[in-house]
Amino acid sequence: MSSLELLLIPAALTIVGVILFFTAWIEDSVLSPRSLIAYTVRTRSRISPEDVERLVAAQSERLLGNLNRRR
């Protein structure tokens, strides 16, 4: 093995770590129910927060139903 190949191992691990960190950040800050509600309220100011909460609850139930069917 050349020294370049040995240097690629930590580089690959670092890249995987960065991708995992970025994915976790997106899930927490962009895809969380709270951020979805806030985004929808900001973009559709005519809709009340309660309506948005109902929409998110319905979507969550649908997603959880899909998970339960897979098991």
In this predicted model, what pLDDT tens digit does every residue of 5-50 receive, in sequence order?
A: 888 999 999 999 999 999 998 888 877 777 777 777 777 667 777 8
**Domain map of the chain by residue range?**
1-31, 33-71
Query: CB–CB of 35/29 below 8 Å?
Result: yes
At 18, which amino acid appears? V
Indicate if the pLDDT at residue 54 is higher than 70: yes
- The Cα 7–Cα 2 span in angstroms is 9
pTM here is 0.50
pLDDT value at 60 more than 90 = no
Q: Are 56 and 33 in contact (CB under 8 A)?
A: yes
- Dihedral angle computed from the Cα positions of residues 21, 24, 25 and 29, in that order, rounded to the nearest 10 degrees: 180
Burial of 40 (0-12, 13-18, 19+ CB in 10 A): middle
